[in-house]
Structure 1
Amino acid sequence: MDRNVILISNDPSFIFVITTIIDQLELNLFSIEKKDNIWKEINEKKPRIVIWDFSELTGIEKVNEKIHNYVSHDCHLLLFSNAISGLSHLKDGRLHLFEKPFSPSEISNLIKEITS
């Protein structure tokens, strides 16, 4: 079972909450700092889960396309944003959308389910 998780965020409070969850679940956490190489790094590290604090609402449709074209079929993307409500049509078995604020226990339970 792959226990690698990639975190993409520049929000210190979001990073703290997610890091706490990942540490409690004893998973391996990697961070991506530069957003220009995101898809290359995801493809190289082949994580089980990508957690993305996504601020640009206009790019979410492209993310949905790229995850299906460039990321392994068993990788899950947890996408967090302040404006997710109109995008429920993008949800599927691999793309999970969460509006901020979110419930840490809900995220923890989903990650447990994905990694077990």
Structure 2
Amino acid sequence: MNEQQALTAFAALSQETRLRIVRLLVTAGPDGMAAGAIGEAMDASSSRMSFHLSHLEHAGLIGSRREGRSIIYSATYPALSGLVEFLMRDCCQGHPEVCQPAVAALSCCDPITSDAHA
């Protein structure tokens, strides 16, 4: 992720409803949620929800797909990971203890292991 992409992502996340939507979709997992369910969870009108979802999609933080009559939105995990990586890229500068709190915050995630090294 470059600086311009990070600025666009942060601008999209700087609004309360959009930040809450992204957090909701991260929790929902890769299957995502229907637009109507997101609107219900956010207690927002469909026109406002459409505006916020469009803004997040334009920023590359969420994606959408059509399933029948529904539009399903899901978090774009590579973009979100890229944003975290952008922030942490130069964090420790030879002092790994500086980054330890951020690494510990991700301890809920199991590292992906590859059978290629087995």
TM-score, normalised relative to structure 2: 0.26
More helix by share: 2
